[in-house]
A and B are shown apart, each in its own frame.
Chain A
Amino acid sequence: MSEAMNIHPGTTAAVAVHHDGHGHHQSFISKYIFSQDHKTISKQFLITGIIWAMIGGLFSVLFRLQLGFPDQSFPILETFFGHWAKGGHIQPEFYYALITMHGTILVFFVLTAGMSGTFANFLIPLQVGARDMASPFLNMLSYWFFFLASIIMLTSLFISTGPAAGGWTIYPPLSALGEASAGSIHGMDYWIISMAMFIVSSLLGGINYITTILNMRTRGMSMTRMPLTMWALLFTAILGVLSFPVLLSGVLLLFFDRNLGTSFYLSDIVVNGQILPNEGGSAILFQHLFWFLGHPEVYIIILPAMGIVSEILSVNSRKPIFGYMAMVGSLFAITILAFLVWAHHMFVTGLNPFLGSVFVLLTLLIAVPSAIKVFNWLTTIWRGNIRFTPATLFSIGFVSLFISGGLTGIFVGNSTIDIHIHDTMFIVAHFHIVMGVAAFFGMFSGLYHWFPKMFGRYMNNTLGYIHFWVTIVGAYLIFWPMHYQGLAGMPRRYLDKSGWASFNQFTELDKMITIVTIIVFAVQLMFVFNFFYSIFKGRKVNKLNPWGATTLEWTTPIRPGHGNWEGEIPEVHRWAYDYGKDGRDFIPQTEKIGENESKH
């Protein structure tokens, strides 16, 4: 019995997972390409995500050109895009392809895979004290399925009929019938196959993240001693593992409808006077299946950012996180509610108003855990010794955006208001602020903060400050006015609104939004430059714990090898937030509790 008791918790992991170990010779391919090291896989997700973000961001610049200057010709567009931009004007099919791919790329490839793939892979083993994931092999597969999904989606951009163009929500019949849109001829099949690969990737990743957090923590690392990043990534993974399969089943049925003549979503459709043979289908069914993933998806995007922000605000305010258990509880509440609110995207589908009111209630309940989190972030930095690093600024920016976008969530969650503003620019403004830009801020924050651990160098701070200020001001300039456009009834996704006299008042505003979009995009390119330049030329990190953080990742060598710790995995004796305690700036988690130490 005593022998069994002495088994080090890391041992199971070390035996189950063979490591290449330190100093073990590896070829270039096994070290950088088909690596099973969670840190390398994390960087692979990150760099692929950055490439996708640039493509998706460029798409938004292109369609903003159309929205800001609908009458103006840009001959350069024709040079690059040929008949898609005939006469320098973005053609309707191209426009719809651009907005569809912008949404798909940003939501799935950047803010899901880029975010979770990067931070869950990088931080989980390092912060819970494991040598690697539960299954490094499945973890590697997770990246390569994502890569495959990326290649297929990228290919669809270059086929003659264009990529999917039915909106990122791919509602049938628009997405089901080639007659409805050029993108639905072939592009949609690429979309479905790519997303199936993507879903496999996120499931392989998710089951690994959950298992590693629940099963492979180091000695002493009880659940409530974990940093909040771990809790956030755990709940994110649970959401993904339970909701992505439902999207898979939904798009599988769509694939059959498109290619094998089934009628899951199609019924009584007449195209050019021809009655299609489909009968008995329900387009609304697709919306249910889609939003059963689609809503948890927004939390899959925002929860990791919440975890990152909680950690960074605490570290850089030199104060313990305020209300740790309330933070965990609110993450848990959001996770549960995430599964119970999907039909608030469907208030105008003829949903039974009584059912609608239930979804309104459940939706508005999300305001409670969200508000708890906001208050806790504010009270964490309140009277703290704040170090205004770029990471801190982006975290504070996150809180600001989350408040701004969250408050409009209370508007759109109400069916009475939503029926008026459904599918208007108000919705675009709401979700871009609360989950688009805010999640990006969480990601930026995490990158500036953990860059030294990832690459052993610092990013340039001056460029970081410019990046922050231009992005936060720009984000508000771009999305704030859209609320007014939406309240005035301006629909989203329309190619050209100049035909409506009532929207003429927004012509100049739209131009301003487009110009700011171009500036903000340029600053993101500057960030990308800073990122890659700093990997090779940044200032070198010369101390183990540059931010004075308590968590385990800073106990590893500056450039940790596969296996993370050279000796034994350290034992944990306390929670992750002992800052400013008993007159000490911080106390690492690995330090034993002193005899006379006060309680936190």
Chain B
Amino acid sequence: MDIVSTHQKQKMHPHKFVMWIAIGSIIMMFAGLTSAFIVKSNQTNWNPIDLPHEFWFSTAVILISSVTMQLAVRAFKQRAMTTYRRLLAFTLVLGLVFVTLQWFGFQNLWSQQITFSGGGAGQFLYIIFGLHALHVLGGVVALLVMFCKAFFGKTKLYSAVPVEVASIYWHFVDILWIYLLIFFLIIGG
């Protein structure tokens, strides 16, 4: 009986671990930005904003995409590759829809004269939501790569690690969005 081996076997796959630490790092960046927001919101010349309705649609879209992503992981593990590809593609499209809706939300705000000039919550919103959208786009690129591998790859994929790593990230950007939304509703409004 080699106790050490048992111990080692229970360890998380290094690539998943890498993803968790990267998530910690991304959280710190958004923590920095939202802290700056809190500091500024207590000062003079602060203009709060109402979130336009586009952001509610995008919230629904990203929540659904998390479900489809999870189903894709399950399909992969059950080796239902056709379903896996479909769900992956669907998640990818939902990611793009989310980013597009965010863009419409920005346009809506901009048309209300909430621009970069002048102080207030607006300028933070563009940067924080914009950075979040960039992170979603990063996830979309990752899904695209996996989609191409699933379609055109010459070797059969058996390891579930890449798809699990992608799903961890995808759920993370989803949860991050929910946090940002609640944050802006409570403190930005």
Contacts and interface: CB of A to CB of B under 8 A. Distances in A.
B15 to A, nearest CB: 6
A256 B123 contact: yes
B117 A211 contact: no
B2, B30, B120: residue with the most chain A Cβ atoms closer than 10 Å: B2
B183 interface: no
Chain B's interface size range is 35 or more
B111 interface: no
Main SS at interface, chain B: helix
B24 A264 contact: no
A9 B13 contact: no
Interface string B1-30: 110111011011111011001101110111
Contacts of A212: 14
B29 A248 contact: yes
Interface of B: 1-2, 4-6, 8-9, 11-15, 17-18, 21-22, 24-26, 28-33, 36, 39-40, 43-46, 116-120, 123, 127, 131, 161
Interface residues of A, number: 51
Contact of A241 (B13, B25, B131): B25
A170 to B, nearest CB: 16
Given A135-B14, A215-B11, A288 B39 contact: yes
B43 A9 contact: no
B28 A246 contact: yes
Interface string A270-285: 0000000101111001
A12 B14 contact: yes
B40 A249 contact: no
Contact of A9 (B4, B39, B44, B127): B4
B1 A256 contact: no
Interface in A194-234: 203, 206-208, 210-212, 214-216, 219-220
A5 B2 contact: yes
Which 4 pairs between the two chains have the least Cβ-Cβ distance?
Answer: A280-B119, A280-B45, A245-B29, A246-B32
A206 B1 CA distance: 35
14 contacts: A7-B5, A138-B18, A208-B18, A214-B17, A242-B28, A249-B32, A249-B36, A263-B117, A264-B40, A264-B123, A277-B117, A280-B40, A280-B119, A285-B36
A252 B36 contact: no
B181 to A, nearest CB: 19
B168 to A, nearest CB: 14
Contact of A280 (B5, B12, B28, B44): B44
Nearest to A293: B32
A22 interface: no
A298 interface: no
